[in-house]
Structure 1
Amino acid sequence: MQFLLAFIVVAPLAGAAAALLPAPPGLRGTGPDQAVLRHGMTVTGAVLVATIVLALGFDHDHPSTMQATTDISWIPALDVRIHLGIDGISLPLVVLTALLTFLCALYSYFKMPSGPSPKAFVALLLVLESGTLATFAVLDLLLFFLAFEMVLIPMYFLIARWGGEARQAAAWKFILYTLLGSVVMLLGLLLIGLKTGTFDMVALATDNGRGLTSSVQVIAVLAIGLGLAVKTPMWPLHSWLPDAHTAAPTVGSVLLAGVLLKMGTYGFVRIVLPIAPDGMHTFAPYLAAFAVAGIIYGSLACLALAKEGAGGDLKRLIAYSSVGHMGFVLLGIATMTPTGVNGALFANIAHGLITGLLFFLVGALKDRYGTADLDTLAGATGAALYGRAPRLGALIAFAAVASLGLPGLAGFWGEMLALFGAFDPADGLSRPAFLTFMAIAAFGTLLTAAYLLVVVRRVCMGALRTEEQETRPLADVQTYEFAAWTPLVALTVLAGLWPAVLLGLTDPAVQKLLAGGKS
């Protein structure tokens, strides 16, 4: 178990190097393109199996303890260590990353996006997986920063080389926003390391800010929080996201929404909350205010895009919905309570599952119709997916109701717990202010339901035009699509009906993480 986590982080990098060889060893297909795509599926599958073994071997009786640790000195002069480990907070995110990357590799094997060589595509996908897994596994501030930045280059090329219209501008906007945010974040991380004499996240979390003055904590939280807020993305630092999602290929959108957005909120929970609690306490009301502004803004933007005649792109609409959903995650974190933080972590996983599924479905719709434009899809009487492709229509309706937070599905619990956390925030935070934030966020759930139901009505319902069905038959869900989407549907239902599986992992770790701030 000790080196299993290290294998999970490093294996995709080795796989990326192997993908660039003339032909991946022992995996020759009917052609080199098929061989390298099969190689990508094999490597991501092996990483997923190793992650499942890690999860099964995890000591569920002590989820607040760092497990599967590796601790090797790397730069002794700066006390920088290759320190890896997982607890109940990071384990679900590691599993989610491995699962979504494998499903993307599986989907790409059958539906490779048009663009340059599949060799480069597979290599970039594997480097992206390694970077995201490392972000959730490392326990050193400088290693966290390196892993955080490592994902930018592969995602930039995935958008710029395999994306759709306006892909170059979207890719540049993505990388400039995130790089500028990261530069500020690095200054905050260096400030903490230099003031405390260590970059070790476990030691810093145990100290709980006692080695830092309140003014240093405030500066550190402001700097680190800006970098994390861009990646989350928090309103008003979100404007790179709709462009990136609209231009990205299907698997790029799935990984961007399902995994990369989680890196920002994970940083808030793993670094900001335990290491600089006084600074976080100062900024918590402002973070909550920006969070609820994002919830309302994202919902109103989606309503505008869903309106008939607006020419709204479905991928763009789902991207704006992510701004709203991640607002609930930030609101939960801002409450600084076990209830709110647990809700934030649950909403993180739920958003990864549901929005990943939504982007897969919209990608399939775009493949069939040649466009994701809502007006074109709906036409005069509606796309009538229930009649033309009933399984695809049913899946879109399922993903929509899961996204709006229907009780019994994964989306419900995270948002509800975030609202409960806002109802009774941590000591010292203004309860009237947080009650106001709670009311605004609750109104946002109504707006979310409104735009998603409009989308379902326009895309799935409508009169079935027989002549169009005969001249342009629409393929229903294919076997490979069924294989890629079924795990996400099953986990969305499982997390909704049995939330204790996830909360049982996160709650002890969250309680331990927050305890020092009050001691």
Structure 2
Amino acid sequence: MSLLLALPGVVGLWLVSGGRGLPLRVARPLTAVTAGLALVLAVAVALGDSTVDRAWLPELGVRWSLGLDGISVPLVLLTALMGVVVAAHAWVEVPAGGTPATFLGCLLLVEAGALATFAARDAVLFLVAFEVVLVPMWVLVGRYGDAKHPRARTEAAQRFVLYTAVGSTTMLVGILLLVASAGTADLRELAGGAGAALAPGTQLAVAVLLVLGLAVKVPVLPFHTWLPPAHTTAPTAGSVLLAAVLLKMGTYGLVRLPVATVPDGFGRLAPVLAVAGALGIVWGGLVCLVERDLKRLVAYSSVAHMGFVVLALASGSETGLQAALYANVAHGVVSALLFVLVGGLKQRWGDVDLAVRRPALRETSPRLGFVLVLGLAASLGLPGLAGFWGELLAVYSAWAPAGDRPRAVFVACAVVAAVGAALAAAYALRVAGIVWVGDRPDPEAARTPDTVGVERWVLGGLAALVVVLGVAPMLVLSVTADAVAALRGVR
């Protein structure tokens, strides 16, 4: 466990400090080897029972406590896999704006911070790991973002920092109130009843602070406005980590903190959160119907998909928790596939403006065209692909929420979410019609180079995983089942 976190953390820190002058021919293989070893260690930790529990700040009762359970294992494996994806993608694109070693080091630091977040068993340690991710991601967006639009890149980075800093401060106050009231920072003790024993008013106050802070990271409507600019200007690797890893830290935090530790307080907020999630689904879908920038469109689709996760969590049922955890992983894989694909198209075309008429991708680049159709189909929730089960189970859990939830509110949210799923089909078909079908081939038009080399392997691997998760959802659901049952049993 210690090596899993230290390996990408130490190498990444060295690349952005003492090794920032390292040439690309050395920094790139070093990053790839580090990410590969981290994936091997993540698998070993997930299969074994590796834990760390040492005193860290004994005066405050804070411990260096790390370990995995069924809730965190899929996210740790997803994070390690995305580390390999972005390290491999460095052979396709290393953006200008700074030294290549700094860029690659920031990728590893984001991975290390996310792994620590998912493994933390102490509330204060969770917060510290959560914050570690913000600085390298800010560097990725602000320094290595779209070179053609420096002002937009700077504004997106500033908005990212402003929103996440406010959210983190709110979450900090909530964690401190929780720890001070319960007398422990151990997440296992808090989930085992120490948090539920708090007075109803205290539980509600803690839940409000934690939900507000984490809603920024998810993001939940109306705190989502930082995400599309960040995605639009970020480099491809940054967008992959942002969608597949950072957003999952927010939803994981909701499960690990308010849902598990102050269930009564969270239950009182659940209807509001469900309404916000349902509105986010519809809002994201409506924006995607008219959005011209393909990368920004994928970003808004993430807002819609995370709405399904939030709706499932708010339902309070065991099915809802399972749906949220599965949809987390599924969206991570699908969004990574789409952002790698769109990043490749932007690199080839110079922009991804849907208003520009181009030859049909199915004619000029059949492999890219196939991956585009697969990613769009998964995004709209086509049966047999990864996105289907998360959306289906989320709508079902809202239709049949826990007994302490207002059923009329959740049934209405389920209906709204179903409408949002129809909107997803509409905007997916719109994109397919513009990009995949396109105009009739023009003999004089420049052909779009098809995917080859490392990019082909990255897209192929992600595409295969989209199909595998769609065909065999129990690969995730069976891992999370016991932990979710235990959590519901305690509650």
Letter in 1 for 2:255: V
Structure 2 counterpart of 1:253, from 233, 239, 242: 239
Provide Cα deviations, 1:406-458, integer angstroms capped at 9, x if missing partner: 00111000111111111111112111111111111011100000001100110
Asked whether 1:512 is paired with 2:471, we answer no
Report the Cα offset of residue 112 of structure 1: 1.1
In the alignment, the residues of structure 2 paired with residue 54 and residue 366 of structure 1 have an alpha-carbon distance, to the nearest angstrom, of 37
Report the Cα offset of residue 493 of structure 1: 0.8
Residue of structure 1 equivalent to 2:23: 32
SS at match of 2:405: coil
Letter in 2 for 1:231: K
Asked whether 1:46 is paired with 2:37, we answer yes
Residue of structure 2 equivalent to 1:73: 55
Residue of structure 1 equivalent to 2:288: 302
Structure 2 counterpart of 1:324, from 287, 304, 307: 304
Q: Unpaired runs of 5+ in structure 1? A: 59-66, 306-311
In the alignment, the residues of structure 2 paired with residue 208 and residue 419 of structure 1 have an alpha-carbon distance, to the nearest angstrom, of 32
8 Å CA contact retained: 2:96, 2:144: yes
Mapping for residues 192-203 of structure 1, pairs under 5 Å: 192-203=178-189
8 Å CA contact retained: 2:13, 2:109: no
In the alignment, the residues of structure 2 paired with residue 246 and residue 110 of structure 1 have an alpha-carbon distance, to the nearest angstrom, of 19
Residue of structure 2 equivalent to 1:422: 398
Letter in 2 for 1:8: L
Residue of structure 2 equivalent to 1:130: 112
In the alignment, the residues of structure 1 paired with residue 13 and residue 260 of structure 2 have an alpha-carbon distance, to the nearest angstrom, of 37
Asked whether 1:100 is paired with 2:86, we answer no
In the alignment, the residues of structure 2 paired with residue 245 and residue 464 of structure 1 have an alpha-carbon distance, to the nearest angstrom, of 31
In the alignment, the residues of structure 1 paired with residue 396 and residue 16 of structure 2 have an alpha-carbon distance, to the nearest angstrom, of 50
Residue of structure 1 equivalent to 2:371: 395
Identity, % of aligned pairs? 44
Residue of structure 2 equivalent to 1:151: 133
8 Å CA contact retained: 1:329, 1:348: yes
8 Å CA contact retained: 2:282, 2:420: yes
Provide Cα deviations, 1:41-62, integer angstroms capped at 9, x if missing partner: 111111011112233x24xxxx
Letter in 2 for 1:294: G
In the alignment, the residues of structure 1 paired with residue 16 and residue 321 of structure 2 have an alpha-carbon distance, to the nearest angstrom, of 42
Number of residue equivalences: 487
SS at match of 2:443: helix
In the alignment, the residues of structure 1 paired with residue 72 and residue 11 of structure 2 have an alpha-carbon distance, to the nearest angstrom, of 23
Q: TM-score, normalised by structure 2?
A: 0.97
SS at match of 1:82: strand
Residue of structure 2 equivalent to 1:64: none
8 Å CA contact retained: 2:312, 2:394: yes
8 Å CA contact retained: 2:322, 2:477: yes
Residue of structure 2 equivalent to 1:232: 218
In the alignment, the residues of structure 2 paired with residue 210 and residue 409 of structure 1 have an alpha-carbon distance, to the nearest angstrom, of 38
Residue of structure 2 equivalent to 1:217: 203
Report the Cα offset of residue 209 of structure 1: 2.9
Structure 2 counterpart of 1:343, from 320, 323, 326: 323
In the alignment, the residues of structure 1 paired with residue 337 and residue 23 of structure 2 have an alpha-carbon distance, to the nearest angstrom, of 29
In the alignment, the residues of structure 1 paired with residue 275 and residue 310 of structure 2 have an alpha-carbon distance, to the nearest angstrom, of 10
In the alignment, the residues of structure 2 paired with residue 210 and residue 131 of structure 1 have an alpha-carbon distance, to the nearest angstrom, of 29
8 Å CA contact retained: 2:182, 2:195: no
Structure 2 counterpart of 1:12, from 8, 22, 28: 8
In the alignment, the residues of structure 2 paired with residue 409 and residue 208 of structure 1 have an alpha-carbon distance, to the nearest angstrom, of 40
SS at match of 1:72: strand
8 Å CA contact retained: 2:182, 2:194: no
8 Å CA contact retained: 2:28, 2:87: yes
Residue of structure 2 equivalent to 1:308: none
In the alignment, the residues of structure 2 paired with residue 383 and residue 496 of structure 1 have an alpha-carbon distance, to the nearest angstrom, of 31
8 Å CA contact retained: 1:71, 1:83: yes
Structure 2 counterpart of 1:354, from 334, 338, 343: 334
8 Å CA contact retained: 1:83, 1:139: yes
Provide Cα deviations, 1:113-162, integer angstroms capped at 9, x if missing partner: 12210111111111111101111000111111111111110000101111
Report the Cα offset of residue 462 of structure 1: 3.0
Report the Cα offset of residue 23 of structure 1: 6.1
Letter in 1 for 2:264: D
In the alignment, the residues of structure 2 paired with residue 501 and residue 177 of structure 1 have an alpha-carbon distance, to the nearest angstrom, of 35
Q: Unpaired runs of 5+ in structure 2? A: none
Residue of structure 2 equivalent to 1:334: 314
Letter in 1 for 2:390: G
8 Å CA contact retained: 1:19, 1:40: no
Structure 2 counterpart of 1:462, from 438, 450, 463: 438
Letter in 1 for 2:217: K
Report the Cα offset of residue 487 of structure 1: 2.1
Provide Cα deviations, 1:81-125, integer angstroms capped at 9, x if missing partner: 000010111001000001111110111133211221011111111
In the alignment, the residues of structure 2 paired with residue 397 and residue 341 of structure 1 have an alpha-carbon distance, to the nearest angstrom, of 29
Report the Cα offset of residue 270 of structure 1: 1.0
Residue of structure 2 equivalent to 1:309: none
Residue of structure 2 equivalent to 1:180: 166
Structure 1 counterpart of 2:277, from 291, 310, 314: 291
SS at match of 2:355: helix
Mapping for residues 154-169 of structure 1, pairs under 5 Å: 154-164=136-146, 165=149, 166-169=152-155
SS at match of 1:34: helix
In the alignment, the residues of structure 1 paired with residue 13 and residue 415 of structure 2 have an alpha-carbon distance, to the nearest angstrom, of 51
Structure 2 counterpart of 1:142, from 120, 124, 140: 124
8 Å CA contact retained: 1:36, 1:122: yes
Residue of structure 2 equivalent to 1:446: 422
In the alignment, the residues of structure 2 paired with residue 111 and residue 278 of structure 1 have an alpha-carbon distance, to the nearest angstrom, of 48
8 Å CA contact retained: 2:16, 2:106: no
Asked whether 1:384 is paired with 2:360, we answer yes
Q: TM-score, normalised by structure 1?
A: 0.92
8 Å CA contact retained: 1:41, 1:109: no
SS at match of 2:56: strand
Residue of structure 1 equivalent to 2:352: 372
In the alignment, the residues of structure 1 paired with residue 15 and residue 458 of structure 2 have an alpha-carbon distance, to the nearest angstrom, of 22
8 Å CA contact retained: 2:215, 2:250: yes
Q: Describe the shift of the 1:199–1:488 C-alpha distance in structure 2 as closer, same or farther (beyond 3 A).
A: same
SS at match of 2:54: strand
